[in-house]
Amino acid sequence: MARYLVTGGAGFIGSHLAHRLVADGHDVRVLDNLATGHRHNLAEVEREVEFIEGSFVDFDVCRRAVEGADYVLHQGALPSVPKSIELPRETHAANVTGTLNLLVAARDAKVKRLVYAASSSAYGDTPTLPKVETMPAAPKSPYAVQKYTGELYCRTFFESYGLETVALRYFNIFGPRQDPNSPYSAVIPRFVRACREGRAPTIFGDGTTSRDFTYIDNVVEANLRAATAPAACAGRVYNVACGERIDLTTLAETIRKAVGRGAPPEYAPERSGDVKHSLADWRRAEEDLGYRPVVRFAQGIEKTVAWYLAEG
């Protein structure tokens, strides 16, 4: 049994990690300021987790949160390209300053390893597919710059201080508990909500934009492996994805069929900062972490839609 700190643990990804860690018998502490997370995401495990309400932008909060932790799974962020364009200073504070605070606190507390939720947005719009970790970064939004900066800090803290860090570049995570009501919500919960309400989902662009959509269980598995895998190269970056390329028109039609109602998608101008195509090569994660996708796209959509429909 180990003690884990999950930042952003009341959010979409963080709450899934907290549930899994509790099920596996670990001590779990959650840090979340509830800016985008929700306490109800932890309702089933609230008696088994220690909850700290606070922001990792506050260094004193970071020091309290990491005390006694063996591993830190740093999921906390303001994860939105549009929001980073609208509010670059505020998102920088959370995504960069907050990450630096946590790294310093983890170093001082002698944490065994910190796993950082990085982003595939670091690759930018380079035309080469699939994306491989050795490709140069080319971020095209403040959010992408911020998340990439976190990667650099993680590597530097390993090289400078010996703090073991692993960065996982997530590719378009989806699944139950992803909030469809946020103005910055991800595309899949927005499409599901539109279809449930009998509306046409809105696609920004001509519909050919493609993503490597990755079900949440894959991310949970990657984090747990990254925290403890002996072969994980500290300071290294790993893609976490399925290696499947799905365009947005196909996504909309798949969700409409799964929901059983809704209208064909409507198209709007492309948004600033959006990447056109994204597809991952995850062989490095397989070699070092033993990672393989446990749930593929089609099965993940079925699970996700079923959850939203059951939630009403």
Helix (H) or strand (E) holding 151: helix 142-161
Q: How far is CA 77 from CA 14, 35, 84, 136, 200, in A?
A: 11, 10, 11, 23, 30
**Phi-psi bin for 46: left (phi > 0), alpha (psi -120 to 50), beta?**
alpha
Q: 83 phi and psi, to 5 degrees?
A: -65, -35
Place of tokens 């990804």: 13
Query: Are the C-beta atoms of residues 114 and 52 closer than 8 Å to each other?
Result: no
Angle in degrees, CA 160, 163, 165, rounded to 5: 110
For residues 37 and 11, give the distance between their C-alpha atoms in angstroms, rounded to a whole number.
4
Q: Of 4, 71, 143, 170, which residue is the catalytic one?
A: 143
Q: How far is CA 49 from CA 9, 230, 279, in A?
A: 10, 27, 35
Beta-sheet strands, E only, within 91-231:
113-119, 164-170, 173-174, 202-204, 210-211, 214-215
* Omega within 30 of 0 (cis) for the link into 201: no
143 is catalytic: yes
Encoding tokens for residue 154?
């993680």
Go through the chain and tell me how many residues it has: 312
**Phi-psi bin for 69: left (phi > 0), alpha (psi -120 to 50), beta?**
beta
Active-site positions read 143
